Structure 1
Amino acid sequence: MRQTDSHDDPSVEQRILHDLGYFGFFLHLHRGGRSGKQPVLVRLLAAGGTMPQRELQESLPITSASLSELLAKLEAEGLVTRLRSRTDRRQQTIALTEAGRARAREAVEGRRAFERRALACLTEEEVADLADKLDRLAAHWRALEAEHTTKKGEAACNKR
């Protein structure tokens, strides 16, 4: 067994950030991610089964090219149809098929089951406390991001 000094032991901050990274990976892997087939189907289901393609694209963290490719795959699987707008032929409305609705419902139920299992080791009080702490941390990180963005903008202006 090797001896470690204090430089080898991760700090509590390092442990937390490492764990948060793992949690992100775990959520992406087990909850379906934020882009891909499942989130598109779930988003369409939440919108009543149909949605303009532009609105769908704006509601997801995905490029329009990636969404077009994804929709082609979903259409080939018989999960969605694309309908041209009668008023503007450039616009398309995306609609879930019955198979798409069923797959979206399965995804929603799977997410709900995962959410119940994911926090099952904590009491209700601990879950509420964790949620409050994560909300504070998220607000702090948004402020750091805004600060970083402002500094980048100022640096770009100073280069001109």
Structure 2
Amino acid sequence: MPDEHDAPHDTLDTVDNALALLTCVLVARRARVNPEGVTWQQYDVLELLRLRGPMKPSELGESLGVSRQTTSKALRVLKDQNLVAQAALGTDRREQTTSLTEAGHAFLDRAARSRRENAKIVEAALDPDEQAAFAALCDKVSTAFQEAGPPTA
């Protein structure tokens, strides 16, 4: 009796392989411009601070859907790398606000240049109709991932 590994590639296999390859290529390209070793979660913290400005750690965690401990760990690493700074919020020294440092802005600028370079590569590889279809499909698939929620083990 043949098992699933003997079956010819079906559509799911084709999509799985394409997604795996694209993920590998994009992660490898990102690693080249990320000498700090910023994780995806830490990157999300930086982007959120860029988009919204200074935030309290509790607001960051809530916005990212992660625990207080996870947020604290990410902020500790980002502070150690001088990518974020924290300051007392008002007279209550226990409450802090987190903001990007110059180094944090520089990191995000470098990441944005890398994304733009990736977009130029895609643009050169695809004709205008394919570019529009690619962008629409990326949006559609991104929405599906968000709606599906976190992956299961």
TM range, normalised to the smaller chain? Answer: 0.5 to 0.7
Structure 2 counterpart of 1:47: 52
Structure 1 length-normalised TM = 0.64
Q: Partner amino acid for 2:97?
A: T
Identity within the alignment, %:
28
Deviations 1:4-37 (A, max 9, x none): xxx543123321222123334444454477423x
Q: Partner amino acid for 1:108?
A: A
State the distance in 1 between where 2:79 and 2:142 align. 37
User: How many residues of Structure 1 are paired with residues of Structure 2 in the alignment?
Assistant: 137
State the distance in 2 between where 1:65 and 1:34 align. 16
State the distance in 2 between where 1:101 and 1:80 align. 9
Structure 2 length-normalised TM = 0.66
1:116 and 2:115 equivalent? Answer: no
Conservation of the 8 A alpha-carbon contact between 1:42 and 1:107? no
State the distance in 2 between where 1:67 and 1:142 align. 20
Quote the offset at 1:136 in angstroms: 5.1
Gaps of 5+ in 2: 1-5, 32-38
Quote the offset at 1:51 in angstroms: 1.9
| Aligned CA-pair RMSD | 3.1
1:65 and 2:81 equivalent? Answer: no
1:35 aligns with one of 41, 44, 64: 41
Conservation of the 8 A alpha-carbon contact between 1:41 and 1:103? no
Conservation of the 8 A alpha-carbon contact between 1:85 and 1:93? yes
Conservation of the 8 A alpha-carbon contact between 1:41 and 1:96? yes
Report the more deviating stretch, 60-69 or 120-129.
60-69
Deviations 1:33-83 (A, max 9, x none): 7423x33223222224x2222222233354432221121122122221112
Q: Partner amino acid for 1:22?
A: L
* Higher CA-based Rg: 1
Gaps of 5+ in 1: 1-6, 147-160
State the distance in 2 between where 1:142 and 1:39 align. 15
1:80 aligns with one of 49, 72, 84: 84
Structure 2 counterpart of 1:98: 102
